[in-house]
Amino acid sequence: MPRRQLLQLALGSAAAFALACSGSQASDSAPAEASAEAQASADAPVEAKAVAYFAGGCFWGVEYFMEKLPGVASVESGYMGGKIENPSYEQVSAHETRHLEAVRVNYDPDKVSYEAIAKRFYEIHDPTQANGQGPDIGAQYLSAVFVANDEERAVNEALISRLRERGYEVVTEIKPVTEFYDAEDYHQDYYVRHEKKPYCHGFVDRFGDAK
């Protein structure tokens, strides 16, 4: 279903939640170990001291899973990497801006490392899909990481190298950080507010080290 139609349904119809990715090996939850950590730290406040940026298909799903990672304070959906200021969803969806649907992850580096966040990114979306993500096809859904420095670039290069050694033909692009524009309010915490789960994102143990 085109995202423009999905937007219309999301604003006024429960039918928008009927979509599902076929043939996926993904799970709708992270490993038991991560879940236990999240439960243990549920009452501990997390301070947003650093940010990280990722684009992996529809920002609803990436936001949903990133927010579950212990040490993450909050996640916002938005647009990044394009050529105009303050793009609208309609402009991005019409491929008028070259922006990607992206998320800004606000986290506490004393509680979770950038590497752990980046690793989770590769585990919750398909970094081998070149034309979109799941049933969402289009340039705004491409897989990319926006890095702020050489250290973040090195982390992602090492993670991609590990995946390629395991046989994954990763197409994720590593790009320099550009201006991040918040998406419209109705996109924020979409799945939480609607009490639904992502239709084409889920945890997959691509690194072979989940417990």
Query: Active-site residue numbers?
Result: 58
Q: How many Cβ atoms from other residues are within 10 Å of residue 107's Cβ?
A: 26
DSSP letter at 209? -
109-136 as b/e: b if 16+ CB within 10 A = eebbebebbbbbbbbbbbbebeebbbbb
Contact between 118 and 155 under an 8 Å Cβ cutoff? The reply is yes
- Residue reference for tokens 């998406």: 183
Q: In what order do the strands lie in the sheet with 173-176?
A: 173-176, 143-147, 50-56, 100-107, 72-80, 180-182
DSSP letter at 139? G
Contact between 89 and 10 under an 8 Å Cβ cutoff? The reply is no
State the DSSP string of 4-35: HHHHHHHHH-GGGGG---TT---BSS--HHHH
For CA atoms 25, 27, 28, 31, give the dihedral sign.
negative
